[in-house]
Amino acid sequence: MSEGKKLVNIIIFIYGLLIGSFLNVCIYRIPIEKSIIFPASHCPLCSTSLKPIDLIPVASYLSTAGKCRYCGEKISLRYPTFELITALIFSLLYYIFGLSVDFFVYTFIASLLIVVTGIDLDYQIIPDEIVLIGIGAAVIYILYSYFILKIPISLLSHLGGLLVGGGLFLLIAIASNGGMGGGDIKLMGMLGLWLGIKGILITTFLSFIIGAVISLILLATGQKTRKEAIPFGPFIAAAALITICFQEELLTWYIQRFIS
């Protein structure tokens, strides 16, 4: 790897850390209906405004041993964890797609999914504003690509993805008597609009596999009981990211394994 390539990798990783820090703000503030811009970042416990040194992703957490520099209260490990996860996802997307339009499109989608994951884990809801931002951006991107850039994309596939993604989960919600939340239905519709029919079918399949495995682990280890609800949004998010990164490889494997 050339020195220039290494430098870009480092920049992308740092970029991911910074975006991850902002996503933490979104995860904390959106459910309680606070602005994600104002006021400036502050300790949620003592309300002290944070200085620039306190806003350095991961490093600030490590330098204070996971405690607020001002009141000494413990800071959740989730903050640096989400920053690192974002940086790693961005680095993987850069490795696969390079510094391309696809990279920026998929990092945007990944950012939405990370926020969805954090909020769903905490509150078991998927805010409508996240889904609406995703749908609005998808419509603009698809129409601009097709009509302005003249990229030969399938409008029917994207529209079909929205209907299939949302429709499948709506049917599941009806069949399971509310076992699937409305937020999951809308999230799948939004992802279907981005990924198309093929992509959303893969995402659906993977989400149930991931959900089943994680749920069994949580039940087996006693972290959850059968009566406790397990948020499905994180499983959808993980499945969508896997689909974005490895869709063609998964299709090739499936065809070779079950069709050829």
What pLDDT is recorded for position 207?
98
Q: How do residues 42-82 score in pLDDT, each as one tens digit?
A: 888 888 888 989 999 999 999 999 999 999 999 999 999 99
pLDDT at 132 over 90: yes
As a three-state string, the secondary structure of 60-116 is: HHHHCCCECCCCCCECCCHHHHHHHHHHHHHHHHHHHHCCCHHHHHHHHHHHHHHHH
8 Å CB contact between 164 and 194: no
- Cα 158 from chain centroid (whole Å): 19
pLDDT at 243 over 70: yes
Find, among 256, 135, 237, the residue nearest to 190 by Cα: 135
Give the separation between CA 206 and CA 239, rounded to whole angstroms.
Answer: 5
Q: How do residues 4-33 score in pLDDT, each as one tens digit?
A: 889 999 999 999 999 999 999 999 999 999
pLDDT at 1 over 90: no
Q: Which helix (H) or strand (E) holds 245?
A: helix 233-254
8 Å CB contact between 172 and 216: no
Q: How do residues 77-117 score in pLDDT, each as one tens digit?
A: 999 999 999 999 999 999 999 999 999 999 999 999 999 99
Mean pLDDT of 157-162: 97
Tokens 């299709």 -> residue: 251
What pLDDT is recorded for position 4?
82
- In degrees and rounded to multiples of 5, residue 42 shows phi and psi of -150, 165
Mean pLDDT of 168-180: 89
Position 257 confidence tier, pLDDT thresholds 50, 70, 90 = confident
Mean pLDDT score across all residues of the chain: 94
Mean pLDDT of 232-249: 97
**Cβ neighbours around 260 below 10 Å, total:** 7
Q: How do residues 207-230 score in pLDDT, each as one tens digit?
A: 999 999 999 999 999 998 888 889
Instruction: Map out the domains of the chain as residue ranges.
Output: 1-97, 100-259
pTM, two decimals, is 0.95
